[in-house]
A = this chain, B = another copy of it.
């Protein structure tokens, strides 16, 4: 935190007035940028993440190119569990793959707690480099995976379409389930606490797959552990964002978990989302990442529709409704940033 005027991103997190609507893009660093391919190490993405100079450079690339209002640490939600020695790899084109998935209580014996400096010192070093390199007007977002979403990889063994194994575990053996998500909550807390100590200005909790759950299942099996993580971030005075895909029916529950900002995908217009999350939360979103492949006049029309639904009340951070798709034309994203800065009105001049 600096003495300079509050950066627009942080002001919007707090539902304070801004001089322009802040914008950043989930996965802004990475596969859509040619300079990323020129920088990253060969092999798994983990081989790049563990090199602070490369991870910091990749984090900075979209700041230079797009002029976005926040940087997000180049890392992955499975880094803490991987760093504690639980066999995970990130397979290109597929995602995280777990060697020996969690199927029963006995598998929990393989979990161990995180020593942030010893296990993930490379993350903290990346944060320290970035805090030196980033302009004061561009805050750095740290992050963690929410317990449900990380557990879905650990139990399914990889990305899943129907989340059958993870739902079966929670329904069949709720005691083991609770031990698992409580462990993952503590892992997330230890990770984000260390990131905050190293200098990140905000934390996003990715519960990307929470939308696979019915509201009743989310409330019982995912919300309590998520709330623990968000409470820990809050206690450290740092704003938090809780994001998932397909979470229309969960927005009220997600809001009750206590984030400052609720991330919304493109399925829910932001005026509807604002009503569901309540007046005491900011919203983040929500241009369809797949809409960025049209000619710019169409992208501009869709961007303006997002700004229109966001309204004039303070507390809107423009973003995509999910991560930047790898095939995205960076030029389009740059033009979206300009448009949002010029025309966004939520809390502007309030």
Contact = CB atoms under 8 A, between A and B. Distances in A.
A294 B246 contact: no
A325 to B, nearest CB: 6
A295 interface: yes
A267 B305 contact: no
Which range holds the interface residue count of chain A?
20 to 34
A350 interface: no
As for how many copies of this chain the complex holds, the number is: 2
Contact of A298 (B172, B214, B302): B172
Nearest to A299: B171
Contact of A293 (B172, B272, B327): B172
A216 interface: yes
A167 B295 contact: no
Interface string A196-234: 000000000000000101111100000000000000000
A172 B294 contact: yes
Contacts of A214: 266-267, 269, 288
Interface string A167-193: 110011000000000000000000000
Nearest to A286: B214
B288 A325 contact: no
Contacts of A293: 164, 167-168, 171-172
Contacts of A288: 167, 214, 217
A105 B266 CA distance: 28
A163 interface: yes
A174 B235 CA distance: 50
Nearest to A164: B290
Interface string A314-328: 000000000001010
B164 A294 contact: no
Nearest to A216: B305
Contacts of A163: 290
A302 B213 CA distance: 13
Contacts of A272: 249
A171 B248 contact: no
Given A162-B289, A164-B327, A249-B272, 18 more contacts: A164-B325, A168-B290, A168-B293, A168-B294, A171-B291, A171-B293, A171-B298, A172-B293, A211-B267, A213-B267, A215-B267, A215-B269, A217-B288, A246-B246, A248-B249, A248-B268, A249-B268, A249-B269
5 contacts: A171-B294, A213-B267, A214-B269, A215-B267, A216-B305
